[in-house]
Amino acid sequence: MRLLRAVQQRREDQYFWEALSEITEIGREARLPVHVSHIKLGMTRWWGQADRLVNVLDAARASGIDITVDIYQAAGIFTPESR
């Protein structure tokens, strides 16, 4: 049986990058695959930094961490069409 550390990122504010680092470090130390559910760059100061996020994930993978993420699209929730 293969174990997986599945998390929903606990910080999506100014500590987003530190929280992501913590998650990858847990995967490294535990030697477990890590999956981050519903990852998002929700704080406006992080908008436009998807490339940075991809680079962080790629660097973690290159260092031997088996990390995956998923996202959900929330944009439709806040549009006039959704009312």
The full DSSP string for the chain is ----EEEE-S--STTHHHHHHHHHHHHHHHT--EEEET----SGGGTT-HHHHHHHHHHHHHTT--EEE-----GGGGSGGG-
Per-residue model confidence as pLDDT tens digits over 4-16? 566 666 666 788 8
Domain ranges of the chain: 5-82
Q: What is the mean pLDDT of the chain?
A: 81
Rounded CA gap, 22 and 24, in Å?
A: 6
Predicted TM-score (pTM) of this structure = 0.76
